[in-house]
């Protein structure tokens, strides 16, 4: 009888000494992120963001994560899985790619090549040439339109990037 009681106490002690992470109930992305999408996007987060929704640790769960899947630079990998036709229609659209406008301005300042979209223009902390200066201006000011910029961090101003700028609902700067 005393031996059985000792075994129960030892087993209970071992169980109570296990780490907190062993006891946590797995909740996937929703365990940390409180986001509810519209009725047309009711699928797992990893469908668009990639990453790993079966992991407990942030480091492993966020490996290969796409933070802004609807950004024009990522849209093909994310939105394109379901919306191939729509992406093919919008890609050549100058409102989306802005390539005609960008290349005209860049040529005036000495650019020889062309860019296909705004994501190809880098900003420079200390522009050393006229072209670097205009690229910096384009990146910091002109490209702050709704497709390439999420808006300032104020209520009713913040919105999504790329496709999400118009096609996901935001209220007071939150999805």
pLDDT, tens digit (0-9, with 9 covering 90-100), for 75-86: 888 888 889 998
Name the stretches of the chain with pLDDT < 70. Answer: 1-26, 146, 170-175
- Alpha carbon separation from 80 to 71, 73, 138, 144 (Å, rounded): 12, 11, 27, 23
Paired tokens of 45: 């987060």
Give me the pLDDT at residue 171, please: 61
Give me the pLDDT at residue 92, please: 76
What is the torsional sign of CA 71, 74, 78, 84? Answer: positive
Paired tokens of 167: 């096609």
Give me the pLDDT at residue 130, please: 93
Give me the pLDDT at residue 10, please: 47
Q: What is the pLDDT of residues 48-72, one digit of tens each?
A: 899 999 888 889 999 999 998 988 8
The DSSP-derived string for 78-115 is TGGGT-HHHHHHHTT-HHHH-HHHHHHHHHHTT--S--
Grouping H, G, I as helix, E, B as strand and the rest as coil, residue 64 is coil
Give me the pLDDT at residue 107, please: 94
Give me the pLDDT at residue 110, please: 93
Give the integer Cα–Cα distance in Å for 73 and 116.
11
Give the integer Cα–Cα distance in Å for 45 and 133.
38
Give me the pLDDT at residue 65, please: 92
Q: How far does the chain reach from its first CA to its final CA, in angstroms?
A: 60
């Amino acid at each position: 009888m005393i031996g059985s009681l000792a075994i129960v106490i030892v087993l209970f002690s071992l169980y109570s000494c296990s780490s907190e992470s062993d006891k946590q109930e797995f909740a996937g992305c929703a365990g940390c992120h409180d986001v509810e999408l519209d009725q047309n996007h009711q699928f797992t987060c990893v469908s668009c963001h990639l990453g790993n929704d079966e992991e407990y640790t942030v480091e492993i769960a966020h490996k290969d994560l796409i933070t802004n899947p609807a950004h024009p630079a990522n849209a093909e990998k994310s939105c394109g899985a379901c919306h191939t036709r729509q992406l093919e229609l919008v890609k050549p659209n100058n409102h989306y790619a802005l390539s005609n406008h960008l290349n005209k301005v860049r040529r005036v300042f000495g650019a020889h090549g062309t860019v296909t979209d705004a994501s190809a223009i880098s900003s420079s902390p200390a522009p050393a040439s006229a072209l670097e200066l205009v690229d910096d201006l384009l990146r910091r000011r002109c490209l702050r339109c709704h497709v390439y910029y999420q808006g300032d961090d104020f209520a009713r101003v913040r919105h999504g990037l790329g496709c999400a700028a118009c096609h996901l609902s935001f209220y007071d700067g939150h999805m």
